[in-house]
Structure 1
């Protein structure tokens, strides 16, 4: 018995130390990273219209942005995927790769960060080599306003977007 007790204690400590810690809902690392990398900030936003939800998890590292977005209309197919792009000042320009109704799409998305709000630009688009791009960025409508939220409030929607992006990558052969 004396020989097995230390072994059991060691196994219990090892098991507890190896468990994944849950991701914090919002995080900001303002400490300089090794190698002089800029700090990372992750924020979550939501836009609710009745039972419809659009959820965004946005990560900013210096001037690079990435994130997951899920458009989930009530009782209809939605669109889910990932965007990557650049931030200049308070404006973000990115490419959103997503799946909607079983079809993989790619489109340009534009956002403006205003305090605790995230505005998404909407406007007329053209198809250029399989990617939708804005015809005239100066004529965008900025009425789609997302509010800052605790990431825990949209974690299930974002998890579906992450899963969908994984399926997109498999279909693309990446």
Structure 2
């Protein structure tokens, strides 16, 4: 009878070892889910001028960037939308899809990461497939006071 116990115990041990492991409460607490990872990689920036406000929220995954961008410039139409682009060196180059006065539009935006914060680049635009894009990213003007500074995300 004792010789029967050894094969039965060995079989039970093998079955137990092959069962999928459930995370312990400690493992589950330290295993970030997709929402937690997104929250970690999300950054928020703003510019509050005397009468102007610009807000940028980015979610960065590697070199890919998505997020939201809102412009509230005094005596101009409010633009609110989302960006999808990439990081190249210290530039954020993205397509900005936004709503303004009930119409949906697209254009390219380029921001440079400076010591002060993110600055949007301005320059000559051209049309590619009906979308305004920068004619020459290397010659953009970043010399202005509108700087998007980091803020805590809500």
Give the TM-score taking structure 1 as reference length: 0.60
Paired position in structure 1 for 2:89: 89
Tell which structure's C-alpha radius of gyration is larger: 2
Q: Which residues of 2 match residues 1-174 of structure 1 at below 5 A?
A: 41-74=41-74, 76-115=76-115, 117-143=117-143, 144-152=146-154
Higher RCO (CA 8 Å, separation ≥ 6 residues): 1
Q: Deviation string for 1:105-164 (max 9, x for gaps)?
A: 111111122356112111111122220011121220113421111223xxxxxxxxxxxx
Native 8 Å contact 2:91 2:111 kept in 1:
yes
Q: Please state how far the C-alpha of 1:32 moved relative to its aligned partner.
A: 8.7
Q: Distance in 2 between matches of 1:110 and 1:76?
A: 20
- RMSD (Å) for aligned C-alpha atoms: 2.6
Kept in 1: contact 2:116–2:147 (CA 8 A)? no
Q: Secondary structure at the match of 1:123?
A: coil
- Which consecutive unaligned segments of at least 5 residues does structure 2 have? 1-30
- Using the size of structure 2 for normalisation, the TM-score is 0.67
The separation in 1 between residues aligned to 2:59 and 2:115, in whole angstroms, is 16
Residue matched to 1:159: none
Task: Supply the distance in 2 between the matched residues of 1:110 and 1:75 (Cα, whole angstroms).
Answer: 23
Shift, 1:48, TM fit: 2.1
Contact kept in structure 2, 1:119 and 1:146, CA below 8 Å: yes
